[in-house]
Amino acid sequence: MDDISERDPLLGSHKSSSGPSHSSYQPDIAQSQFGGSSMSDVHIPVILSWQNVNVFVKEKKKKQATMPELPLNTDNGRKQIIKNISGVVKSGTLVAIMGASGAGKSTLMNVLTNRNLRDYEVQGESMSMVQLLEMPIRNISAYVQQDDLFITTLTVRETLIFRALLRMDKSINKQARLRRVEEVIQEMGLIKCADTQIGLSETKKGISGGEKKRLSFACEMLTNPPLLFCDEPTSGLDSFMAQNIVQTLQNMAEKKRTILCTIHQPSSEIFAMFNQILLLAEGRVAFMGSSKQAVEFFNGLNYICPTNFNPADFYIMTLAIVPGREEECRQKVHAICDAFTDTKEAYQIRGDIQRISSHATRDELINSAFSNTSRYEASWVRQFFCILWRSWLSLIRNTMLFRVRVIQTMFVAVILGLIYLRIKYDQRGVMNINGAIFLLITNASFTSLFAVVNSFPNEMPIFLREYGSGLYRTDVYYLAKNLAELPTFLLLPMILISIDYWMMGLYESGEAFLIAAGVVVLLSNVAVSFGYVISTLAGDVNIALAVAPPLLIPFMMFGGFFLNNELVSLLQ
């Protein structure tokens, strides 16, 4: 690498000499990421840039007919959410992206992180990560989303260990991963709650909201990413915890990390912690620079922030579109945005983008390396055993649910056994046996089906987030989770059939009993898989519960109990 680089004052790193780039960084080669030194001492400064970014969303025809006055609609029936946005964020900078509702904050974050863009059309030169190390691009950046999604039965340390085993580079041994977990726990101030289950406020007391937010940061900091995106990191927190979280971000930025976060109505103390602010209004940049420069800029436009008034609130109120005064407010916002394009801050941004773009890169070589690199850091076997370990811990710690299932199964089995107690082998008895077998099958199916339908939709958002982050494969997750739950779905059907088979007085043969038990166990596990299908399609517990019974009715009708199979074949 030394023969293609030279020092550059803008990047604070090495200047490459082969092609254009929109992001640049240089690792501190004094420390090795894979050596014995602390990974928290390893820094890869990153400079981000994005230029002339435009984002469009297609509108439905009905919406277009009822809202023709939208100012950013194009001729092709598209609404423009972001319009010609450019910006630069240097390493060691904590940036707050602010603006009124509908200003485009979340959309810009999605563009920069390349997430949730299915319904959008992005044009322009958006942020592009370029690296000189041979490792997947996702290891350079991390994205802390607004919602804190965790397996609630795990402890803080176990959650971090799980992610460390799957997320960190393949060449790092297990001991180094565990050391990194302890470093992150200490760095994020989670020592006090390290061995506490995360828990749910509705059912079981666990860690606090602020600790959950810090845990979200800790999960992403395991790989020591130089670039961090945060979506509303202070949402739902009190003023003290919000200030604590932003202080943590500021400490990260001081270690040469580049941090961007959207934030909604920060207090004046929190606002003062940010190195830079990016104000958005009507999909345009109203200002980008330091807080001091923002005061000078708005003062120059005769928008003077009152004394002892929160500057963040003042900027948001100045750039907001007030109902009933839409046209007046839009004209004011456009005037502010146009004025910013002629400021020295805007000229400096354009100059920095031009200088970064003039840096040569090895895009073709790097893109080739990325295309041949698996999106998963861990092997198939490691993914399987990690998910199996987590699923098993989650299962054995929910003892109350397991006890309820066992008691319910025994109670239903005894009731059925008493109703069909010692069936006689006559004409009436044949009909009774037919009904008893049907009830056994129905009970085993519904019990297993609803056990999954009631739980998996709540866990599916966690799966989607972890799968999207490249932690594990879908087939690994399915197989490991089924294997972890297999003892439960073996024990419960066996309890049911063991009680009812002998109470009902069915064919008294050990071989026949084992065959019946095998059929019921197999049926229960098929119902489990069917429950996963329904839960995945529904995506919500209430919808899954409403859909599951109607989907089971055809199987019950054509199972041979209510309709002769020969008649079914004739109907075909």
Q: Please report whether residue 531 resides in a domain.
A: yes
Q: Pick the last residue of a domain from 331, 361, 391.
A: 361
Lowest pLDDT segment from 16-30, 37-51, 187-201, 220-234 = 16-30
Q: Which residues contact 378 (CB under 8 A, 6 or more apart)?
A: 165, 166, 170, 386, 471, 472
Same domain, yes or no: 330 and 442: no
- How many residues are listed for the chain in this entry? 572
Asked if 12 and 226 count as a contact pair (C-beta separation under 8 A), the reply is no
pLDDT at site 468: 81
| Sequence letter at residue 326 | E
Residue 254 placed within a domain: yes
Residue 203 pLDDT grade (very low, low, confident, very high; cuts 50, 70, 90): low
Rounded to an integer, what distance in angstroms lies between the CA atom of residue 499 and that of residue 148? 44
**Which residue is it, tokens 């420069």?**
293
Between CA 132 and CA 125 the distance in angstroms is: 21
pTM of the predicted structure, to 2 decimals:
0.77
pLDDT digits (tens, 9 = 90+) for 102-130: 888 888 888 887 777 777 788 765 444 34
- In this structure, are 394 and 306 located in the same domain? no
Residues in Cβ contact with 517 at an 8 Å cutoff, skipping those fewer than 6 apart: 493, 494, 497, 498, 501
What is the C-alpha to C-alpha distance for residues 572 and 566, in angstroms, rounded to an integer?
10
- Local confidence band at 565 (pLDDT 50, 70, 90 cut-offs): low
CATH at residue 135: 3.40.50.300
Q: Which of 145-149, 223-227, 368-372 has the lowest mean pLDDT?
A: 368-372
Give, rounded to a whole angstrom, the gap between the first and last alpha carbons of the chain. 71
Question: What is the distance between the alpha carbons of residues 215 and 207, in angstroms, rounded to a whole number?
Answer: 10
Residue by residue, DSSP assigns 352-380 as: HHHHHHTS---HHHHHHHHHTS-S-SS-H
pLDDT of residue 240: 83
Same domain for 312 and 390, yes or no, is: no
CA distances from 410 to 433, 500, 515, 544, 550 (A): 20, 10, 21, 26, 26
Mean pLDDT of 162-169: 89
Residues 119 and 266 occupy one common structural domain: yes
Instruction: Give pLDDT, residue 44.
Output: 64
Q: Which of 51-65, 126-140, 401-415 is most confident? A: 401-415
Please indicate, yes or no, whether residues 115 and 251 belong to a single structural domain of this protein: yes
Q: Could you tell me if 281 and 401 lie in one domain?
A: no
pLDDT reported for residue 274: 92
Inside any domain, residue 208: no
Q: Please give the structure tokens belonging to residue 534.
A: 């329904």
Within this chain, do residues 466 and 386 fall inside the same structural domain, yes or no? yes
| pLDDT at 156 (0 to 100) | 93
Bridge-based pairing of strands 120-125 and 258-262 is unpaired
Residues 400 and 495 in one domain: yes
The strand pair at 78-89 and 46-58 is best described as antiparallel
298-332: pLDDT as tens digits: 999 999 988 888 999 999 998 888 888 888 888 99
Q: Residues 279, 465, 234, 330: is their CA dihedral positive or negative?
A: positive
> Does residue 329 sit in the same domain as residue 425?
no
Question: For residue 433, how many C-alpha atoms fall within 13 Å in the half-sphere facing its CB?
Answer: 14
The Cα 39–Cα 485 span in angstroms is: 36
Residue 20 lies in a domain: no
Residues 327 and 384 in one domain: no
Residue 384: the pLDDT is 95
CA 230/CA 245 separation, integer angstroms: 11
Answer whether residue 308 is part of any domain.
yes
Q: Indicate whether 433 and 495 sit together in one domain.
A: yes
Structural domain for 118, as ranges: 48-57+75-140+225-361
pLDDT at site 117: 72
Check pLDDT > 70 for residue 16: no
Residues 6+ apart with CB under 8 A from 74: 56, 80
Report how many domains make up the chain: 2
Contacts of 546 (CB under 8 A, 6+ apart): none
120 vs 290, higher pLDDT: 290
Give residue-wise pLDDT tens across range 469-511.
Answer: 888 999 999 999 999 999 999 999 999 999 999 999 888 888 9
Query: Which pLDDT belongs to residue 45?
Result: 72
**What is the pLDDT of the chain when averaged over all its residues?**
79
| Per-residue pLDDT, 6 | 40
- Tell me which residue of 278, 221, 366 sits closest to 96, measured CA to CA: 278
> What band does 568 get if pLDDT is binned at 50, 70 and 90?
low
Phi/psi for 266 (5° steps) reads -75, 150
Judge if 296 and 417 occupy the same domain: no
C-alpha span between 461 and 429 (Å, rounded): 49
- Domain-embedded: residue 154: no
What pLDDT does residue 3 have? Answer: 39
Asked which of 330, 361, 392 is the last residue of a domain, the reply is 361
Predicted pLDDT at 327: 87
Give the separation between CA 346 and CA 86, rounded to whole angstroms: 9
* 366 within domain boundaries: no
**Does some domain include residue 542?**
yes
Instruction: Name the pLDDT band for 433 (thresholds 50, 70, 90).
Output: confident
The last residue of one of the domains, among 291, 326, 361, is 361
What digits encode the pLDDT tens for the residues 369-427? 334 456 788 889 999 999 999 999 998 988 888 899 999 999 999 999 999 898 888 87
Q: How far apart are CA 11 and CA 29, in angstroms?
A: 16
Of 121, 112, 47, 84, residue with least CA distance to 357:
47
